[in-house]
Amino acid sequence: MKMHNKINKSTLSDIFISYQSTIRGFISLIVKPDEIDDIVQETFVRCYEANLKQEIKYARSYMLKTAKNLALNHNAKWDNKFNDSIEDFVEPPVELSSANFEDDYESKERFLFFCRATDQLSGSIRKCFILKKVYGLSQKEIAQYLQLSESTVEKHVARGLLKSVQYMERMNYNVGRSSTGAEK
């Protein structure tokens, strides 16, 4: 029987769930409190994606380093956002109409995948995940609104994120196979 070098996906999520309070405490030294949740969740996504591509021998260290880099990058982007002069805004910073039909189509297709991914989540996980990711509520606000503990909300959002990523991976794989007709 051949052993896989990559950490099992469920093991990676278990490590993340048990270690996220440490990650949270560490990055709280770098970013503002209301930015911590997003960076912690982005840490999970990055680690999950990295584990699909390469072996992660020391998952906790990798997660901590990823969180640190994300937090530092977040602060760097925030600092640069306010260093622009007024002359830089003669032209709108974003093109208001898309010049590329394919980009619009791909964006709508990704959004559709996201919607389908959230549809397959169970009730309370779906509610927590959508309130966090779509409406941008804090975990505390969600906990109060749904009358759950903040810990439960945090776990539901993490599970929703994991299940949505897994669903979207399956859909991209199936779409890719059916469109080419080729076998791997």
Using CA atoms, how far apart are residues 45 and 55, in angstroms rounded to an integer?
16
> Whose CA is closest to 65, among 107, 11, 26?
26
Please indicate whether the domains covering 1-75 and 113-175 agree at the CATH topology level.
no
Contact predicate 63/13, CB 8 Å: no
> Whose CA is closest to 162, among 75, 58, 56, 41?
41
For residue 5, the model assigns a pLDDT of: 45
For residue 32, the model assigns a pLDDT of: 86
Q: Taking the domain 113-175, which CATH number applies?
A: 1.10.10.10
The parts of the chain modelled with pLDDT lower than 50 are: 1-5, 81-98, 173-184
Place of tokens 């260290």: 61
Six token digits for residue 30: 């770098």
Place of tokens 């960076």: 39
Using CA atoms, how far apart are residues 33 and 104, in angstroms rounded to an integer?
34
For residue 152, the model assigns a pLDDT of: 93
Domain residue spans of the chain = 1-75, 113-175
Using CA atoms, how far apart are residues 156 and 158, in angstroms rounded to an integer?
5
CATH of 1-75, one of 1.10.1740.10, 2.40.160.50, 1.10.150.20, 2.40.50.100: 1.10.1740.10
Using CA atoms, how far apart are residues 89 and 85, in angstroms rounded to an integer?
8
